[in-house]
């Protein structure tokens, strides 16, 4: 299912704001109505542009996928550019953490590290992000990026800070 809101369900014309987790779960289930909103921007512009799709979501967890294509995502060696893999991991981290963020809060990445393990060509990548330590303000996440055959392509780690009050304004 593409990482886009479904318009299959019609409902009241009045907007209904949902928590991010419920919004994304309804999206996956195909029950997201046109009047449903969340306080975050979904789909994100970068996820839409790069063709990322949401595969699974739970509190603090997210799995995103992308179909790679050397003609679009290739580097000078003829393999998928590491930046695409890093962005896929970062999008998975952001989606996972956003399920823990309340209205009026936002977050920012403090650190992002990617370890590349094997090359990728034309393949479907899955990025599964999950918390290693979920704190009130600072959380640590791990992301495993695998190819369609299940082999690990890269691992990534991220530290994310939740912003509240004045720090969250305008972000």
Does residue 149 register a pLDDT over 90? Answer: yes
Does residue 91 register a pLDDT over 80? Answer: yes
CA dihedral angle for residue 113, residue 127, residue 21, residue 24, rounded to 10 degrees: 130
Q: Is the peptide bond before 43 cis (omega within 30 degrees of 0)?
A: yes
Model confidence pLDDT, tens digit, residues 47-57: 999 999 999 99
Q: Which residue has the tokens 């992301």?
A: 143
What average pLDDT does range 132-145 have in this prediction? 97
The pLDDT assigned to 14 comes to: 84
**Chain mean position to CA 91:** 4
What average pLDDT does range 140-169 have in this prediction? 95
The pLDDT assigned to 13 comes to: 59
Does residue 2 register a pLDDT over 70? Answer: no
With cut-offs at 50, 70 and 90, classify the pLDDT of residue 75. very high
What is the rounded CA–CA span in Å between residue 156 and residue 152?
11
Does residue 127 register a pLDDT over 50? Answer: yes
The pLDDT assigned to 169 comes to: 82
What is the rounded CA–CA span in Å between residue 24 and residue 31?
10
Does residue 8 register a pLDDT over 60? Answer: no
Q: What mean pLDDT is reported for the chain?
A: 91
**Chain mean position to CA 81:** 19
**Low-confidence winner among 5-14, 16-25, 51-60 (lowest mean pLDDT):** 5-14
Neighbours of 132 (CB within 10 A): 11
Percent of the chain with pLDDT over 90: 83
What is the rounded CA–CA span in Å between residue 89 and residue 62?
10
Give me the domains of the chain, ranges plus CATH numbers: 16-168 (3.10.129.10)
The pLDDT assigned to 166 comes to: 83
**Low-confidence winner among 7-21, 63-77, 120-134 (lowest mean pLDDT):** 7-21
């Amino acid at each position: 299912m593409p990482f886009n809101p479904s318009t299959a369900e019609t409902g009241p014309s009045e907007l209904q704001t949902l928590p991010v987790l419920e919004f994304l779960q309804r999206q996956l289930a195909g029950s997201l109505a046109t009047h449903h909103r969340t306080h975050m921007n979904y789909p994100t512009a970068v996820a839409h542009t790069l063709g990322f799709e949401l595969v699974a979501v739970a509190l603090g967890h997210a799995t995103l996928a992308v179909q790679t294509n050397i003609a679009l995502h290739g580097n000078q060696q003829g393999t998928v550019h590491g930046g695409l893999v890093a962005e896929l991991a970062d999008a998975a981290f952001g989606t996972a953490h956003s399920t823990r963020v309340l209205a009026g809060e936002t977050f920012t990445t403090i650190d992002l590290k990617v370890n590349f393990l094997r090359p990728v060509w034309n393949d479907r990548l899955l990025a599964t992000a999950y918390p290693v330590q979920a704190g009130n303000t600072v959380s640590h996440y791990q992301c495993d990026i695998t190819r369609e055959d299940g082999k690990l392509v890269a691992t990534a780690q991220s530290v994310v800070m939740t912003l509240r009050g004045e720090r969250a304004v305008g972000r």
